Structure 1
Amino acid sequence: MATSKITYNGGLRTSSVHERSGNEIITDAPVDNKGKGEAFSPTDLLATSLGNCMLTIVGIAAAEHGFSIEGTTCEITKIMAENPRRVSEIIATFQFPDQNYSEKDKKIIERSALTCPVYYSLHPDIQKTITFNY
């Protein structure tokens, strides 16, 4: 089964449907690349996927080790480069709720975050700047 089906809607906008669930994501070209910037751009999704994946993997590890990360947020900043136009850096800043995490919990969090599949899938030339705030 396919993962998704993408339709070009015109005006530099696409819609992607997740085949299993039917959920839909809209993308627009960014304003700095002839678009309206009214939705995530494809490169926004690339960068955002890193934070989503890291939180998911940390959530799995936290559950396995008996603590919670519920309420944790991750702010993503995407830095673009030119010639060729590409993502050059993704900055991920995690803010954990006041849970009095032990040093062991923090090591589990940080090690698991840095082993997510998206982190490993990104080209090594993309700088990944990760900050964990407890």
Structure 2
Amino acid sequence: MNTRIRRMATIETIYQGGLRTQAKHVYSGNTIITDAPLDNQGKAEAFSPTDLMSASLGSCMFTIMGIAAREHGIDIDGSTCSITKIMAADPRRVSEIQITFNFPEIIYTEKQRAILERSARNCPVAKSLHPDLVQNIVFNFKD
């Protein structure tokens, strides 16, 4: 049984020159500009493609936590995360993504914490990244 979902293109991207691209989300019309980073011949005037990949991991984790939170009546509104991308040289690639989640001044039960952590670690982006890419995830809950 084929479990893959096929869709028409949801993103159209144009190379604008000068190591810059513009990606357009077809359904909403929103656009994202990317630039190469300073350490790879770019201007760093926007997210680099690897920045977006790292941001996608954090956003995906939050989205899946939000779904689980809604289903279990857990409040995570106002939570934040900080993301650090670590590059390797040979070959040039992202070798590690460090994400620190900070939750609001709410006392979560052990069960609620486990639900949130498990949902984050099982988001589609996390499961799509190569296993050699280290995902260092910290969950800061208030005690």
Deviation at 1:57, TM superposition (A): 0.1
SS in structure 1 at match of 2:101: strand
Question: What residue number does 2:121 align with?
Answer: 114
Map Cα deviations across residues 72-107 of structure 1 (whole Å, 9 max, x no partner): 111110000011100000001000001111111101
Moved over 4 A (4+): none
With normalisation by structure 1, the TM-score equals: 0.98
Paired residue for 1:59, among 58, 62, 66?
66
Separation in structure 2 between the aligned mates of residue 78 and residue 13 of structure 1, nearest angstrom: 20
Separation in structure 1 between the aligned mates of residue 30 and residue 138 of structure 2, nearest angstrom: 30
With normalisation by structure 2, the TM-score equals: 0.92
Deviation at 1:69, TM superposition (A): 0.6
Separation in structure 1 between the aligned mates of residue 117 and residue 11 of structure 2, nearest angstrom: 31
Deviation at 1:68, TM superposition (A): 1.3
Question: What residue number does 2:82 align with?
Answer: 75
* Alignment gaps of 5+ in structure 2: 1-7
Please tell me whether residue 17 in structure 1 is matched to residue 24 in structure 2: yes
The count of residues paired between Structure 1 and Structure 2 equals 134
SS in structure 1 at match of 2:34: strand
State percent identity of aligned pairs: 63
Separation in structure 2 between the aligned mates of residue 110 and residue 50 of structure 1, nearest angstrom: 14
Paired residue for 1:26, among 5, 23, 33?
33
Question: What residue number does 1:48 align with?
Answer: 55
